[in-house]
Amino acid sequence: MDAIALENVTKSYDSVIAVSGVNLRVRQGAVLGLLGPNGAGKTTTIRMVMNILVPDEGTILVLGQPVSGKTRDSVGYLPEERGLYPRMKVRSLIVFFAALHGLSEAEADRRAREWLERFELSEWSEKKMVDLSKGMQQKVQFITSVLHRPPIVILDEPFSGLDPVNAATVKDIMLEMRDQGSTIILSTHRMEQVEKMCDSICLISHGRSVLDGDLRAIKQSYGKNTVHVEFTGPDSFLTHPAIAAVNRFATGVEAKLKPGADPQEILKAAVQSGAQITRFELLEPSLNEIFIEKTSHA
């Protein structure tokens, strides 16, 4: 049984098609990166999983059940647009949301104290939300999305606005939840985070899923089509016909090869042009490149 299964899901607003025939399976225990340019339909997709929006067509199963008010409590959700009642006190606010998700208030209160301790917010628990800094509010919001220990957690840009120390805490908690068997969906534009955290990805562009599956397999399917060259001397070899695109960095260049091109030809051309090669390495494409390629083609 999949944690979440979307089958041929379509949703449009008036004349705008936000999501069009999306299929997606998230296996239990996976950490899935939900990627896509702004306005691709990620938020709409998440809202349909949360039963906030109803799809026009297709089915959505959460833990094998069609989405409903009941499945909602199995999913913790941290929306991208943050905000909580500004005039409520921190701990009573956390308890309120946990109770809405089905916890008893006593249990919610016990866990709230634990989590506030963990995020070093204990001394703020009787303060109003509005008195907290943005980063602290962010932490409180994170707590409200995971306090009821949902088997599935959807986190939309969970690290934005957090300092490195707090970002590390959130990352540790996410890995901990994964180890305990939770399924995590991470929606973000920060590709390096996805490469570090996720084992699978789903890339949505213009309302369609253009790429999904195991991250390692996807990268391997692209083959080692990129060469990283560090050199001194002339760079005329970069105009070699086998090179599709060049990305220059301070220390060297990354050249993306045309399909079927032989990297040895590039090395040969570089040596012949008189460049002093200090490093020549074949690489898998970065997720960033895959993202740009997939979304600009669509």
Backbone angles phi, psi at 178, to 5 degrees: -60, -45
75 binds another protein (CB under 8 A): yes
Distance CA 50, CA 150 (A): 13
Q: Which of 138, 145, 183, 226 binds another protein (CB under 8 A)?
A: 145
Stretches 92-100, 165-173, 181-189, 278-286: which one binds another protein (CB under 8 A)? 92-100
Nearer to another protein, 125 or 273 (CB): 125
- Would you mind telling me the total number of residues written for the chain in this entry? 298
User: Residue 18 carries which DSSP code?
Assistant: E
Q: Which of 31, 34, 74, 97 binds another protein (CB under 8 A)?
A: 97
Helix (H, G, I), strand (E, B) or coil at 220: helix
Q: Which of 99, 246, 292, 298 binds another protein (CB under 8 A)?
A: 99
Nearer to another protein, 93 or 204 (CB): 93
- How many alpha carbons lie under 13 Å from residue 199 in its C-beta half-sphere? 10
Q: Which of 30, 42, 47, 143 binds another protein (CB under 8 A)?
A: 47
Q: Which of 8, 39, 54, 163 binds another protein (CB under 8 A)?
A: 54
Residues 173-212, one symbol each (x = binds another protein by CB under 8 A, - = not), give: ----------------------------------------
Nearer to another protein, 23 or 51 (CB): 51
63 binds another protein (CB under 8 A): no
- Summary count for the chain: helices (H), strands (E): 10, 14
Rounded to whole angstroms, the maximal C-alpha distance in the chain is: 75
Smallest CA-to-CA distance from 214 within 24, 22, 3, 32 is with 32
Torsion sign over Cα 228, 234, 239, 240? negative
Q: Which of 33, 48, 62, 101 binds another protein (CB under 8 A)?
A: 101
Nearer to another protein, 156 or 254 (CB): 156
Nearer to another protein, 41 or 79 (CB): 79
Backbone angles phi, psi at 65, to 5 degrees: -105, 140
**What residue has token string 């090395």?**
267
Q: Which of 45, 71, 138, 144 binds another protein (CB under 8 A)?
A: 144
283 binds another protein (CB under 8 A): no
Alpha-carbon separation of residue 267 from 3, 247, 285 (angstroms): 47, 17, 19
Give the nearest distance from C-beta 97 to another protein in angstroms: 6
Cβ contact 70:51 at 8 Å:
no
Q: Which of 17, 21, 27, 52 binds another protein (CB under 8 A)?
A: 52
Helix (H, G, I), strand (E, B) or coil at 58: strand
Question: And the tokens for 151?
Answer: 């088997």
Residues found near another protein in the complex (CB under 8 A): 47, 50, 52-54, 69, 72-73, 75, 77, 79, 81-88, 96-97, 99-101, 141, 144-145
